[in-house]
């Protein structure tokens, strides 16, 4: 505890050191998030396939007629990452955030296959968003919690953009952490506000989902969106939900209209809503009170 207090005192006295540390840690976290983004959806698909196979087998389907369970990517912590083209293990020297991708010119050292630009972009985003959080909150518990919040939302955003999935392994821990932080008095909302925020966040999208389905016969969003908004409500409190919903809906609508107008995208093609919720929730956590006050001042003249 004394060591932590000393570190906090140093960071408080030298804010630039705290910001620099967060940026460097953010680059490393971004590299780890790339592993999560790549492996978590494949692990989910493998689990679903195994459960489907088990259910079919319980219904008497012949073993030779059962679908094959795809090979899994391994756990998040291992094995070592490999090139998806040639299978060569990624060496430590080629796994330095941002630097390795630039030195390799975005290509595998062994087979020269292109390495997705997603990797340096996620690393840079984790560092830059972390820097914003560090400058906004300064050293202390709020900044540490907001960094976890930020980096979790970043992983969920990229996964949803790539796969249209929002893993429970991200949304549910984020929800429980927000509630626990409120209970222990280190969060951004009181316990009552956090609980109401979680309940209302889930309930708002759940109600819209079923109303839309009754009116159109179609499903307008996934259950992962409900859980994500519940998690955002636990962090911002119920008071932050209007900002989250308005921002995410406005940006989502603009992007959807732009895709239809510029790319001629079919209106029936689904667009992931999780990234807009995540962006709205992140903005609400950092500047939600200021946005609400500015709006009220404008509305009341």
- Residue-wise pLDDT for 199-218, tens only, equals 999 999 999 888 888 888 77
Cβ atoms of 159 and 167 closer than 8 Å: yes
CA distance 205 to 109: 46
Q: Which of 13-17, 60-64, 140-144, 277-281 has the lowest mean pLDDT?
A: 60-64
Question: pLDDT at residue 109 above 70?
Answer: yes
Distance CA 240, CA 68 (A): 45
Distances (CA, A) of 280 to 19, 160, 218, 254, 275: 24, 15, 25, 14, 9
Phi, psi of 184 (to 5 degrees): -90, 5
Which is higher by pLDDT, 102 or 256? 102
The percent of residues in the chain predicted with pLDDT above 90, rounded, is 52
Which residues, at least 6 apart from 224, have a Cβ–Cβ distance to it below 8 Å? 160, 165, 166, 167, 168, 171, 274
CA distance 124 to 102: 12
Of 169, 194, 196, residue with least CA distance to 179: 194
Which neighbouring-strand residues pair with 82? Answer: 89
At 42, is the secondary structure helix, strand, or coil?
Answer: helix
Q: Sorting pLDDT into bands at 50, 70 and 90, what band is 255?
A: confident
- pLDDT band of residue 278 (cuts 50, 70, 90) is very high
Who has greater pLDDT, 119 or 10? 119
The number of helix segments (H) and strand segments (E) in the chain equals 10, 0
Reported as a single tens digit per residue, the pLDDT across 41-94 is 888 888 877 788 788 878 787 777 776 766 655 567 666 777 777 877 888 888
Any bridge partners for residue 114, and if so which? 107
Mean of all residue pLDDT scores within the chain? 87
| C-alpha span between 297 and 74 (Å, rounded) | 53
Instruction: Report helix, strand or coil for 184.
Output: coil
Helix 274-299 and helix 141-163, axial crossing angle in degrees, nearest 10: 120
**Higher per-residue pLDDT: 221 or 121:** 121
pLDDT at residue number 48: 77
């Amino acid at each position: 505890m004394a060591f932590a207090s000393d570190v906090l005192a140093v960071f408080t006295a030298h804010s630039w050191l705290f910001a620099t540390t967060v940026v460097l840690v953010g680059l490393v976290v971004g590299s780890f998030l790339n592993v999560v983004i790549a492996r978590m959806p494949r692990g989910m698909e493998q689990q679903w396939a195994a459960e489907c196979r088990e259910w079919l087998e319980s219904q008497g389907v012949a073993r030779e007629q059962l679908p094959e369970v795809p090979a899994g990517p391994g756990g998040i912590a291992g094995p070592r990452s490999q090139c998806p083209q040639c299978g060569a293990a990624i060496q430590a020297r080629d796994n330095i955030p941002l630097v390795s991708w630039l030195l390799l010119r975005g290509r595998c050292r062994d087979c020269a296959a292109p390495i997705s630009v997603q990797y340096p972009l996620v690393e840079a985003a984790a560092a830059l968003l972390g820097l914003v959080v560090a400058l906004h909150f300064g050293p202390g518990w709020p900044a540490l919690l907001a960094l976890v919040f930020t980096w979790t939302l970043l992983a969920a955003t990229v996964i949803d953009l790539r796969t249209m999935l929002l893993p429970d392994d991200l949304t549910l821990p984020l929800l429980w952490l927000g509630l626990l932080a409120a209970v222990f008095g280190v969060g951004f909302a009181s316990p009552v506000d956090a609980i109401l925020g979680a309940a209302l966040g889930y309930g708002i999208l759940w109600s819209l989902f079923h109303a839309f389905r009754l009116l159109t016969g179609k499903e307008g969003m996934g259950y992962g969106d409900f859980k994500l908004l519940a998690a955002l409500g636990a962090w911002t409190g119920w008071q932050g939900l209007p900002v989250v919903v308005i921002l995410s809906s406005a940006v989502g609508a603009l992007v959807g209209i732009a895709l239809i107008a510029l790319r001629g995208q079919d209106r029936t093609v689904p667009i992931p809503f999780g990234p807009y919720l995540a962006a709205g929730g992140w903005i609400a956590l950092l500047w939600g009170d200021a946005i609400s006050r500015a709006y009220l001042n404008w509305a009341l003249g």
